[in-house]
Amino acid sequence: LAKTTQPISMDSYEGQEVNITCSHNNIATNDYITWYQQFPSQGPRFIIQGYKTKVTNEVASLFIPADRKSSTLSLPRVSLSDTAVYYCLVGRRYNFNKFYFGSGTKLNVKP
């Protein structure tokens, strides 16, 4: 499984758009990219997954360039409640039970 690299932490202000980039240089053809969110004292929560180009849901957007060696999670107009750790994961297409959780990015949203 491809390892992922993310910034350790990021700061933002309420109302701003936040983009968190993840590097996965060794991603394989069959790998999917997934993002999770974790609040303090809670288990991680699935946000979004994608294979290529752009995916959007009610919470976030995921941008994946053509070479797929990186991906960007975009959170529109963050609020204080978006303060959390965000994990980028890469998982093998036919093995949905195993993926690599890195250390994540701690996003701190300020008023």
Partner 1 sequence: DVKVTQSSRYLVKRTGEKVFLECVQDMDHENMFWYRQDPGLGLRLIYFSYDVKMKEKGDIPEGYSVSREKKERFSLILESASTNQTSMYLCASRQVGLITYEQYFGPGTRLTVT
Binding string to partner 1 for residues 42 to 81, with x set by CB under 8 A, is what?
Answer: xxxxx--x--------------------------------
CA distance 28 to 43: 28
Q: Is 105 in the site for partner 1 (CB under 8 A)?
A: no
Q: Is 96 in the site for partner 1 (CB under 8 A)?
A: yes
What values do phi and psi take at 82, rounded to 5?
Answer: -85, -5
Q: Is 23 in the site for partner 1 (CB under 8 A)?
A: no
Query: For partner 1, how many residues bind (rule: CB under 8 A)?
Result: 22
Nearer to partner 1 among residue 13 and residue 46 (C-beta)? 46
The piece of 20-28, 52-60, 75-83, 86-94 that touches partner 1 (CB under 8 A) is 86-94
CA distance 93 to 46: 17
Per-residue CA distances from 13 to 38, 54, 55, 69, 80 (Å): 19, 25, 24, 28, 8
Amino acid at 85: V
In sequence order, the β-bridge partners of residue 36 are 46, 87
Residues in contact with partner 1 by CB under 8 A are 32, 34, 41-46, 49, 87, 89, 91, 93, 96-104
